[in-house]
Amino acid sequence: MVSGSFSRKFDRVALRTPLRAAKTNENEGIPHSVSEELLREILRNANRGDLFMKILQEAREKGTLLQIHANPHDLEQPVIGLVRSLGDETCIVQELDWEGLPDGLTTVSIRQIRQIMQNTRHLCRIAWLQQQQLPTQVVLEEEEFAEDPLDCMISELETARDTGQLVNCRIASESDFIQALGFVHDIVDEYVQLNLLTIWGEPDGVATVRLQDIVGIYRNDRQQSVAYRLYQHRKDLYTQAEWNMPESDFSQD
């Protein structure tokens, strides 16, 4: 037997829930179980006007690459990929890595989304690599190596300079190592000058380094191959994203 005070208290709680339209038992004031169809309809109505939902729907239809921040504990770890499936409260994203290659599926709670980014330079680079489907390793002709060079470091730098390849120099510092990625501009006396690039192929100034401080040189690895291709196409890579921005979904008063 349910007391009257408990029944009135439960009714007040029920009225504050989204299920206030559900029928109640006249004798006990306890809501009937809600059907799955009704629950899904309630969720659809709750999300129908949501801007995040609209962005996800359009991205799925157009195949737009998104960067979704949905981890409230670490917003610096986004999900980057293509929306493959969209439910009432969740979506499935085909993730892509920094080379544009598939990197598994991730299910995201729409209610946990804090930010969605579109048409950024970072996303344009990944989308371009994904569309081109280029091999990540640069294919070189058979290369001849000097058997006994006076200095392998200088030999590698000269080879990179003469062939126009990127190198990544590992430079010793007081407490750690720093790295400089770029094209070898010149080798003069005890120094080398590099025309620097970012890992995304964007010019980033000039560095002059003492040869004796270089403790390692990397040439023709996957990261450099991607940077080189992005550098080659840098003039037209971002044009569409920067000049054809989507119209705002926010109404102006």
Within 79-176, strands assigned E span 79-86, 90-96, 102-109, 115-117, 166-172
Mean pLDDT, rounded, for 35-56: 72
48-133 and 152-237 in the same fold: yes
Mean pLDDT, rounded, for 183-188: 93
Mean pLDDT, rounded, for 65-88: 86
**Cα gap 225→139, rounded to integer Å:** 10
Q: How far is CA 90 from CA 39, 107, 127, 238, in A?
A: 15, 7, 23, 31
Stronger pLDDT, 187 or 249, i.e. the higher one: 187
Tell me the CATH class for 48-133.
Answer: mainly beta
Reported pTM: 0.54
**In CATH, what number does 152-237 get?**
2.30.30.100
- Looking at residue 49, what is its pLDDT? 46
Q: Where are the domains of the chain?
A: 48-133, 152-237
Tokens representing 194 are 């590099």
**Cα gap 69→78, rounded to integer Å:** 5
Q: What percent of the chain has pLDDT over 90?
A: 21
